[in-house]
Structure 1
Amino acid sequence: MNRRSFLQTSAATAVVAASGAAARAADPLKVGFIYVGPVGDMGWSYQHDQARLAVQKEFGDKVVTSFIENVPEGPDAERALTQLALQGNTLIFATSFGFMDATVNVAKKFPKVKFEHATGYKRAENLATYDARFYEGRAIQGTIAGRMTKTNKIGYIGSFPIPEVIQGINAVYIHAKKVNPDVEIKVVWAYTWFDPAKEADAAAALISEGCDFVLQHTDSTAPQAKAQEAGNVYTFGQASDMASFAPKPRVGSTIDNWEPYYKLRVQAALDGSWKSEATWGGIGTGMVGIGEITDAVPAEVKAEALALKDKIAAGSYHPFTGPLNKQDGSAWLKDGETPDDGTLAGLNFYVEGIKAELPK
């Protein structure tokens, strides 16, 4: 090869290499999500998917998002996460508590992939966690239910007896009791996040016990429909607004707003600033939203609930403020004392006054 042909060949190679590098630089960030329920559940998974769509709109061709819905917690979650990683997703969100161990395992196998796990507590160099202070919204719901109940019986559909659910039950009871000393709370465990039939049965059981408020930490609108059928029972939207059941039985809601967090973390992955950290946001950060309180709620009760919301958002009031005892009567929090986040994250008992038995 003479010098001229060598230079031509080298120049051509350089052009190809440069164009290849440019193409690689322009490759979109692939972001994957797994959901425990269907995107149409109008609750938990729906809200996560709405945030995914907002990410896609915000970043345009800089990202490509995908999701796998109806993923059972356990081995199926590990397979779904592995599938997303093998498909080239380099940022993956696992959006249910029971995905925790599966996410830990898959993160070990794919150290160059960034993983985010919702509501869990296990982290690694390439695994972050994020959660919302749902109990803050429950305090507001407890205030409304305590003021409005005619039977003095509030029902609660629990998914699984894990800390975030126990926090909510306690917060509802504490704040209902503050405004109505005669109130009691009854709990039915559905042992599912999303199963409309089981959720409807749980709601029916609570209504049959005289509960005229039914709250839930499950994902479907089945309890709303059951309350509407009963005619004299109130509910709150869970995770999303569930506004199709307003103004009654749904008189308010807690809304999980994941959009700002997802945008922040995708931007961090794009600009190289992503790192493993734990995030726990609430009303003050906008991660927990309070939906419209309808006119079925008396004006003075609505004003009281919104004032409580403002105090929580400002940080001037904590829903778990002593004096508070554990269910067995032993001391938990002294007058004016509040728990640290570690204590709340491991909460495994009911507060004094709740008569229901907590499953082990």
Structure 2
Amino acid sequence: MKLIKTMAAAAALLAATQAGAQDDPVKVGFIYVGPIGDGGWTYEHDQARQAVEEHFGDQVETVYRESVPEGADAERAITQMALGGADLIFTTSFGFMDATINVAEKFPDVKFEHATGYKTAENVATYNARFYQGRAVLGHIAGSMTESNKVGYIGSFPIPEVIRGINSAFLHARKVNPDVEFNVVWAYTWFDPAKEADAAQALIEQGADVILQHTDSTAPLAAAEQAGDVIGFGQASDMAEYKPSPRVASIIDNWSPYYIDRVQAVIDGTWESHSVWQGIGDGTVEIGEITDAVPEDVRQEAADLRDRIGSGEYHPFTGPINKQDGSAWLAEGEVADDETLLGMDFYVEGMTGDIPN
């Protein structure tokens, strides 16, 4: 009898232990390249992290590391997060790709999600957003509103994601204004307000009355505001503090639905590696309010362009389009394939300057 009671007690203890383990919250980690207060890229990722907490409540625990440099520091930070018991880790910058893959090999039971990269593994998924769709809309506004016909563009790094955006904005600015010129300044940083401000100021001094950016701080908008008669756009987040001008529209990265979906998959035990590339139609890329500083007809045209892209009626890279050297790329009506876009390393015809190596 004692043996039976002992066995029953042990079984009950085991069941309780297993139930407790099942009730433990899923630990979700985030590795950020910038500070959460950058007002742009990292800010929006952290807003999505908070959305995860709000959606799941005590089912999840989230942790994050901000301002993690790309390279060896990233691998150390990701490793520490995995050692700290994270079940799922989002690494949110292109330059974290190799570090993510390296750490994932050492922690096969941890799930990893890498933003904007292309390397996957059994426990590594990738996710990306079609920012070039939003840049087509901003390019339309830029080309319509410039009076000097000079648009300045602050690039972060000369990687395909940034080159795609430059080309998309330029093509759609040229559609409405054949005389428009783009001048690109490479900042070689994702977030450095001082460098971004210097780049914006240099472009303005060269005659640009519109500033586009693929960097993460609000410094270019502050420079535009100080200059007067210069407009700009929110990048990655709305940057609403500069409405209605110089910030006349914005690209907003909405990561919340994706993060919630992937955390749910871990909770359900259905998570699998994949590669996704979502855009306006998915709600991942949003166009923020186009303010009254933009003429009404241009606002309507931009909204129509956004809607046609979102519905799939129109693709921003639809031929005829030539490469910068004049060689044919896309024939009349031909649409660029994703493989080419993901590896884009060339400017389109009409762009001046070279892409740095």
Instruction: Give CA-to-partner distance per residue, 1:263-293, whole Å, 9 cap, x none.
Output: 1101111101110000100001100000000
Partner of residue 117, structure 1 = 114
Partner of residue 90, structure 2 = 93
Instruction: Give CA-to-partner distance per residue, 1:300-342, whole Å, 9 cap, x none.
Output: 0000000101110110100001100100111100011011101
How far residue 12 of structure 1 moved from its aligned partner, in angstroms, is: 1.9
CA distance in 2, matches of 1:178, 1:22: 62
Kindly indicate whether residue 267 of structure 2 is the aligned counterpart of residue 259 of structure 1: no
- Match for residue 250 of structure 1 among 244, 247, 252: 247
Partner of residue 176, structure 1 = 173
How far residue 356 of structure 1 moved from its aligned partner, in angstroms, is: 1.9
Partner of residue 336, structure 1 = 333
Partner of residue 50, structure 1 = 47
Partner of residue 25, structure 2 = 28
What are the equivalent positions in structure 2 for 1:231-310 lying under 5 Å apart? 231-310=228-307
CA distance in 1, matches of 2:244, 2:106: 49
Deviation beyond 4 Å, 4+ runs, structure 1: none
Structure 2: stretches of 5+ with no match in the other structure: none
SS at match of 2:280: coil
Partner of residue 142, structure 1 = 139
Instruction: Give CA-to-partner distance per residue, 1:62-102, whole Å, 9 cap, x none.
Output: 11011000000000000010011001101000000000000
Kindly indicate whether residue 218 of structure 2 is the aligned counterpart of residue 214 of structure 1: no
SS at match of 2:251: strand
CA distance in 2, matches of 1:183, 1:168: 16
CA distance in 1, matches of 2:7, 2:279: 58
Partner of residue 79, structure 2 = 82
- Match for residue 13 of structure 1 among 2, 5, 10: 10
The amino acid of 2:65's aligned partner reads: I
CA distance in 2, matches of 1:319, 1:42: 27
SS at match of 1:284: helix
SS at match of 1:236: strand
Structure 1: stretches of 5+ with no match in the other structure: none
The amino acid of 1:239's aligned partner reads: A
TM-score using structure 2 length: 0.99
Kindly indicate whether residue 351 of structure 2 is the aligned counterpart of residue 357 of structure 1: no
The amino acid of 1:301's aligned partner reads: V
Kindly indicate whether residue 69 of structure 2 is the aligned counterpart of residue 72 of structure 1: yes
The amino acid of 2:228's aligned partner reads: G
How far residue 9 of structure 1 moved from its aligned partner, in angstroms, is: 1.8
The amino acid of 1:113's aligned partner reads: V
Alpha-carbon RMSD:
0.6
CA distance in 2, matches of 1:191, 1:213: 21
The amino acid of 1:237's aligned partner reads: G
How far residue 14 of structure 1 moved from its aligned partner, in angstroms, is: 1.6
CA distance in 2, matches of 1:15, 1:123: 42
CA distance in 1, matches of 2:229, 2:31: 37
- Match for residue 195 of structure 2 among 183, 194, 198: 198
TM-score using structure 1 length: 0.98
CA distance in 1, matches of 2:253, 2:227: 27
The amino acid of 1:265's aligned partner reads: R
Partner of residue 348, structure 1 = 345
- The total of aligned residue pairs comes to 357
Q: Percent same amino acid at aligned positions?
A: 66
The amino acid of 2:345's aligned partner reads: N
CA distance in 1, matches of 2:70, 2:89: 16
CA distance in 2, matches of 1:323, 1:6: 83
How far residue 11 of structure 1 moved from its aligned partner, in angstroms, is: 2.1
SS at match of 1:171: helix
